[in-house]
Amino acid sequence: MNNSKIANLNILIISAVIICFEILSTRISSVIFVQNFAFIILSLSILGLGCGGVYSFYKIKPDETKIENRKIFSLFIFLTGISLILFILVVIFLSITNQFIYFFLLFIPFFFAGIIYSEFFKNFANSGFKIYASDLIGAALGSAGSIFIFSLFNAANAVLLLALVLFVSAISFLSINKNRKILFSIGLFLLGIGLTVFGKNELLGKIPIG
């Protein structure tokens, strides 16, 4: 598979994960704060993506070497996955019921995602229309997929699953041999199966109610 196809596939996956997380975070906020903050979460996602794009433009300079670009893709996809895990861990274990802290934690994954989008468009400018199409398809799949995720997982486990999907995406850009990639992917796949089996169990604890 050539670099362009890998980029398109990963943008599709990332977009599906991000839109699904946006829907999940709305569900979580309605449990914590009782009120529906969908309008704030939508605004935060746009703000985070925009800020990430600005950061990418000013702070990450284009590199001619493909290896360095792949490292950047892998790093920020991985950081997005980590930020999802930190978000749900902090919310549950520290019983976050403060709106400002909650929304700040929510901003971080969208910020990293904004960097990823910007980097993809920067490095694959010649096929930008394909990247954009993959983004839209991924968003549509993420929206529809959230329905099935809600039926199989509780909110916390669903966020963990989304993080695992991002880690698989990050691995595809690592400059390591094929066998290691397969090994890491299998490990993440097995974790995903474990999460699916215990999808409705409160593995991390209950989401706090404000």
Question: pLDDT for 106-151, tens place per residue?
Answer: 999 999 999 999 999 888 878 888 888 999 999 999 999 888 888 8
Domain span at 29: 3-197
The pLDDT tens digits of the residues spanning 52-85 come to: 999 999 988 776 556 677 888 999 999 999 999 9
Q: Is residue 116 part of a domain?
A: yes
User: How far, CA to CA in Å, does 172 sit from each of 6, 67, 69, 180, 198?
Assistant: 8, 12, 13, 11, 27
| Residue 208 falls inside a structural domain | no
Under DSSP, the state recorded for 127 is G
Helix (H, G, I), strand (E, B) or coil at 168: helix
At 61, is the secondary structure helix, strand, or coil? coil
Answer yes or no: is 31 within a domain: yes
Please give the model's pTM, rounded to 2 decimal places. Answer: 0.90
Query: Contact, 42 vs 22, CB < 8 A?
Result: yes
Residue 185 inside a domain? The answer is: yes
At what angle are helices 66-93 and 155-171 packed, to 10 degrees? Answer: 170
21 and 145 Cβ atoms separated by less than 8 Å: no
What's the residue count for the chain? 210
Residue 25 lies in a domain: yes
Q: How many domains does the chain have?
A: 1
Q: The domain spanning residue 145 has which CATH number?
A: 1.20.1250
Residue 164 lies in a domain: yes
